Amino acid sequence: MLTFGQGLKVGLLIVLIPSVAFGLFDLLYTKVINPGWMDNYYTKMVEKIKKTTAPEKLDAALQKLQANKELFSNPVMEFLLMALTVFIIGFIVTIISSLALRRSKTAIA
């Protein structure tokens, strides 16, 4: 029998591995394989903001983008963001799977 709690534990342990792997791969990609990725992305976002934002709101939007760039330039924050993204999606799938696969104690074997 698989209870909800057991399914949740197993699912979270399974999700933890790809979460850490994805966070590490993201660091490898942005720091070693393609170190210019952040600058390219930032440049394209500045162009997009300039095209789509009203002139009176442009400075605030560019300042917010710059603050985000500085935040995600920190390798720890970059790792945490990527790992948490995968973990949250996996957590939701784990809850759904645990609910679908659980067996009640009164079920007939």
Q: Is the pLDDT of residue 22 over 80?
A: yes
Give the pLDDT band (50/70/90) at residue 30: very high
Give the pLDDT band (50/70/90) at residue 15: very high
Domain ranges of the chain: 4-101
3-state secondary structure the chain: CCCHHHHHHHHHHHHHHHHHHHHHHHHHHHHHHCCCHHHHHHHHHHHHHHHHCCHHHHHHHHHHHHHHHHHHCCHHHHHHHHHHHHHHHHHHHHHHHHHHHCCCCCCCC
The mean per-residue pLDDT over the stretch 16-31 comes to 95
Give the model's pLDDT for residue 55.
87
